[in-house]
Amino acid sequence: MRFVSVILLIPVVFSLLGTGQRAFFVGFVIVAFLLKGFIARGKITIGRVEVIFTVIGFFVLFSYMSLALGRSGGNTISDDAGELLSRIFSEQQIGSIFGFRYTYHLPVQYGSDWADDLMSILPGEHGTHLSNKIHEILYGSDRGTVPISMWTSVVYNWGYMGVFVFPFFLSLFYSKVTFWMISRSKTTIPELVGYAFLSFILASWVSAGPMQLINNGLVTVCLMLGIMYLIAHSKLRWAK
């Protein structure tokens, strides 16, 4: 079974590398660890050799993607590692702080910014340009995005009242999803894969508005889980 998993993993990784999306590659690695934990019923047992090979393989593939896409200013893996750490622990935080300071003096949007962002799904709709504006101010070009943090987005769209109301509904939604996942008596491996992706998508929502969840694949994962749920129930009906 492990051999088959490795064989299937190779084309998946190469297909992901072909997209050039480094962020989704990072997400893929995290989802793989989550899936391992779900299969082990929450007891994640990872050996030292697995950790070493995972870290080395991650940085090698990440560096290759960065160099191939021309997004890296360095020529070595250590340079790319520094850029990765800077992006995770510095650049995103600076952008979030500046985004709050920029939107602090703007009028409350009362959800119109979120609505414009969601409308960008439709053809011909560009959505909100706030992240492009912040990128232009910070780096001198609007050909890029610097998203504001999720809570800055809440304040910008709903004012400080949203800071008190939104966490209640968000925690209620997260707790309902978690209870639904752990209350299932029988769960297949494909469903566990869906749970791993669902957990990662919800937990990684730290910037922008609800559109970020859709961009990260929330609708696709929910459709996949819904289809598997219907298939499972149809099999039970036919068995009766």
**pLDDT attached to residue 191:** 79
**pLDDT attached to residue 1:** 45
Asked if residue 156 lies in contact with residue 108, where contact means CB atoms within 8 angstroms, the answer is yes
More confident residue, 189 or 210: 210
pLDDT digits (tens, 9 = 90+) for 22-74: 566 666 667 776 677 666 665 555 556 666 666 666 666 666 666 555 555 55
pLDDT at 8 over 60: no
Residue at 160: amino acid letter: Y
pLDDT over 70 percentage in the chain = 60
More confident residue, 184 or 99: 99
More confident residue, 147 or 56: 147
**pLDDT attached to residue 220:** 87
